[in-house]
């Protein structure tokens, strides 16, 4: 089988697949149109997020047997077209679940204990104690939406912090020793902290909007390591200003480029969009990281290994 690698990944992918007899070609620079012209030569594609695999692309990939996404999210692929064409879809959410879970806890502890703020103040000669009094996790109710690989790993990490973990998921019977499954209404009633671990699709785009926030009984902390467009930025900014959202830890932003390589600061952003983004970047109520929750040295290798194992299992 001939495989096209469209993004740079851990070298074990190339090393192990070559050893199994696959033919590999790397192309990390060609544009969408350039790849489109040659895609019918390949049996498989291994991607991250650089090029969108839309309907037009897939219909031109006449010999394609599989798409392997090194990571969890599949929103860059037209899943319906791929399934209709009989193209196997492979991803590796198992590879970075531990990294995401640790990132969630790290951001939350930094946020609730004002660690960045206090550190910067001391470095600038300002010594404030009462103003930097922290808020403990102990005794709080931690609400998770989406109890797949990332949600479960996060609940497991929280087991030593003395929090009650509850979760909502569209699938039934997922409860385990680390978290209790509840309705969305109960989660909104009880949660002190909300953490998102969901894919991006039609049902989850702007899930957390003005209406959702209005149904949260308590003022709450928000953590988003899923996708930027799971959250309506303007709604969060308004809630931060009103105090309904106490603070937010955001590894993803609505205004990211689809490749996740940077923020989209193009002229397509409205004046309100730009104002909201500036608020998030400047507010001491918000921690923002550049889509790196699953981005550790260890996860890079694990993501690649899961992809190789799944391709070999299915096609060797």
The reply to whether 291 belongs to the active site is: yes
Q: Is 80 a catalytic residue?
A: no
- Give the domain-ending residue among 56, 91, 126: 91
The CATH code of the domain that includes 73 is 3.40.50.720
pTM: 0.93
125 and 40, same structural domain? Answer: no
Tell me how far apart the alpha carbons of residues 165 and 158 are, in angstroms, rounded to a whole number: 8
Residue 299 falls within a domain, yes or no?
Answer: no
CA distances in angstroms from 29 to 121, 157, 193, 286, listed in the order given: 43, 38, 41, 35
**Is there a single domain that holds both residue 118 and residue 76?**
no
pLDDT at residue 21 is higher than 90 = yes
For residue 136, tell me if it sits in a domain: yes
| Residues 183, 199 within the same domain | yes
CA–CA separation, 239 vs 213, rounded Å?
Answer: 8
- Residue tagged active-site, from 50, 114, 227, 254: 227
Question: Over the stretch 179-232, which tens digit does the pLDDT of each residue have?
Answer: 999 999 999 999 999 999 999 999 999 999 999 999 999 999 999 999 999 999
Q: Is residue 311 part of a domain?
A: no
Residue 302 lies in a domain: no
The reported pLDDT for the residue numbered 266 is: 62
Last residue of one domain, picked from the residues 65, 91, 117: 91
Q: How many domains does one find in the chain?
A: 2
Specify which residues 194 forms β-bridges with: 143, 222
35 and 182 housed in the same domain: no
Instruction: Assess contact for 276 and 268: CB atoms under 8 A.
Output: no
Q: For 120-133, what is the mean pLDDT?
A: 97
Task: Determine which one of 50, 69, 157, 256 is catalytic.
Answer: 256
Each residue's pLDDT tens digit, 93-119: 999 999 999 999 999 999 999 999 999
Assess whether 177 and 282 both reside in one domain.
yes
| Residues 209 and 236 grouped into a single domain | yes
Residue 6 belongs to some domain of the structure: yes
Residues 6 and 139 in one domain: no
Structural domain contains residue 307: no
Q: Cα–chain-centroid distance for residue 250?
A: 10
pLDDT at 258 over 90: no
Catalytic hit among 69, 291, 297, 301: 291
Query: Among 91, 121, 145, which residue terminates a domain?
Result: 91
Active site residue 197: no
Report the distance separating Cα 123 and Cα 113, nearest Å. 17
**147 and 183 co-located in one domain:** yes
3-class DSSP assignment, residue 250:
strand
- Residue span of the structural domain in which 266 resides: 97-288
135 and 270: one domain? yes
């Amino acid at each position: 089988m001939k495989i096209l690698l469209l993004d740079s990944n851990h070298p074990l992918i190339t090393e192990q697949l070559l050893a199994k007899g696959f033919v590999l070609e790397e192309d990390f620079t060609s544009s969408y149109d350039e790849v489109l012209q040659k895609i019918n030569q390949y049996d498989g594609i291994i991607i991250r997020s650089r090029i969108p695999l839309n309907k037009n692309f897939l219909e031109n990939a006449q010999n394609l047997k599989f798409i392997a996404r090194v990571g969890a999210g599949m929103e860059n692929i037209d899943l319906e077209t791929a399934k209709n064409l009989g193209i196997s879809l492979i991803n590796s959410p198992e590879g970075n679940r531990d990294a995401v879970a640790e990132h969630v806890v790290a951001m939350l502890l930094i946020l609730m204990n004002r660690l960045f703020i206090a550190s910067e103040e001391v470095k600038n000669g300002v010594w404030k104690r009462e103003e930097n009094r922290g808020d403990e996790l102990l005794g709080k109710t931690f609400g998770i939406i989406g109890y797949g690989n990332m949600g479960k790993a996060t609940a497991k990490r929280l087991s030593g912090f003395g929090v009650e973990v509850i979760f909502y998921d569209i699938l039934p019977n997922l409860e385990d020793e680390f978290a209790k499954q509840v309705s969305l209404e109960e989660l909104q009633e009880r949660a002190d902290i909300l953490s998102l671990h969901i894919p991006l699709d039609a049902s989850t785009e702007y899930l957390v909007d003005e209406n959702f926030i209005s149904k949260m009984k308590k003022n709450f902390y928000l953590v988003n390591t899923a996708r930027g467009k799971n959250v309506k930025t303007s709604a969060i900014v308004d809630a931060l200003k009103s105090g309904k959202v106490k603070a937010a830890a955001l590894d993803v932003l609505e205004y990211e480029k689809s490749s996740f390589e940077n923020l989209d600061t193009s002229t397509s952003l409205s004046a309100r969009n730009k104002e909201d983004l500036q608020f998030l970047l400047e507010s001491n109520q918000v921690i923002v990281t550049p889509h790196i929750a699953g981005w550790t040295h260890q996860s890079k290798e694990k993501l690649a290994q899961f992809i190789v194992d799944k391709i070999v299992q299915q096609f060797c």
